[in-house]
Chains A and B, each alone.
Chain A
Amino acid sequence: MSREKGMEVITSPISTTQVDYLAERVFQECIRILGGLRRLALYGKLTWLPSLAEAAYILVLKEELFKTVREIARELGITEQTVRRILRADEEEVRRFIEGEVERVDEHKAGGIAKLAYRRVKKERGLFIREEEMEVLGVDWALRVLVRLRGADFPLSKEDLKKRLEGIRVKGKPIDEIAERMSFPIKSPTEVLRQIEEATR
Chain B
Amino acid sequence: MSARGFYELGELEQASPKLFGVPTGTKLDEMFWKLERGEEGRFMRKPLGGIPYLSVINVTGVPDSGKSVLVEQFAIVQANNGYRVLFVTVESPANFLYTSMKTKAEYLGADFSKVTKNIIVIDASVNEEFRENPKALMDTMAYAIKEKQTNSVIIDSVTGLYEHKEIMARQIVRVFFNFLKRWKQTGIFVSQKRSSHDSDSADAAGGLAVAHIVDGTIVLDKKLIRTRWDVNLYKRPLGSVMRTIRIDGCRLTGHDTRPWVFEISPGGTIEILSPLEELI
Contact mask for chain A residues 1-38; partner B; CB cutoff 8 A; 1 contact, 0 none: 00011111111111111010000000000000000000
In the complex, chain A residues whose CB is within 8 Å of the CB of B137? 13
Q: Which of A5, A64, A68 contacts B168 (CB 8 A)?
A: A68
Q: How far is the CA of A118 from the CA of B20 in the complex (A)?
A: 41
**In the complex, chain B residues 33-59 whose Cβ is within 8 Å of any chain A Cβ:** none
**In the complex, chain B residues 105-128 whose Cβ is within 8 Å of any chain A Cβ:** 113, 116-117, 119-123, 126-127
Q: How far is the CA of A40 from the CA of B105 in the complex (A)?
A: 66
Are B123 and A11 in contact, with the CB atoms below 8 A? Answer: yes
Q: How far is the CA of A10 from the CA of B142 in the complex (A)?
A: 12
A-B residue pairs, 5 tightest by C-beta: A6-B116, A13-B136, A17-B135, A15-B136, A7-B116
Residue A154 is within 8 A (CB to CB) of chain B in the complex: no
Are A65 and B139 in contact, with the CB atoms below 8 A? Answer: no
Q: Which of A4, A14, A65 contacts B134 (CB 8 A)?
A: A65
Interface size counted on chain B using CB atoms at 8 A: 34
Are B94 and A4 in contact, with the CB atoms below 8 A? Answer: yes
Q: How far is the CA of A8 from the CA of B89 in the complex (A)?
A: 13
Q: A64's closest neighbor in chain B, by CB?
A: B135
In the complex, chain A residues whose CB is within 8 Å of the CB of B127? 11-13
Q: How far is the CA of A66 from the CA of B174 in the complex (A)?
A: 12
Q: How far is the CA of A64 from the CA of B175 in the complex (A)?
A: 11
Q: A17 with B136: in contact, given A10-B123, A11-B123 (CB under 8 Å)?
A: yes
Residue B95 is within 8 A (CB to CB) of chain A in the complex: yes
Are B129 and A7 in contact, with the CB atoms below 8 A? Answer: no
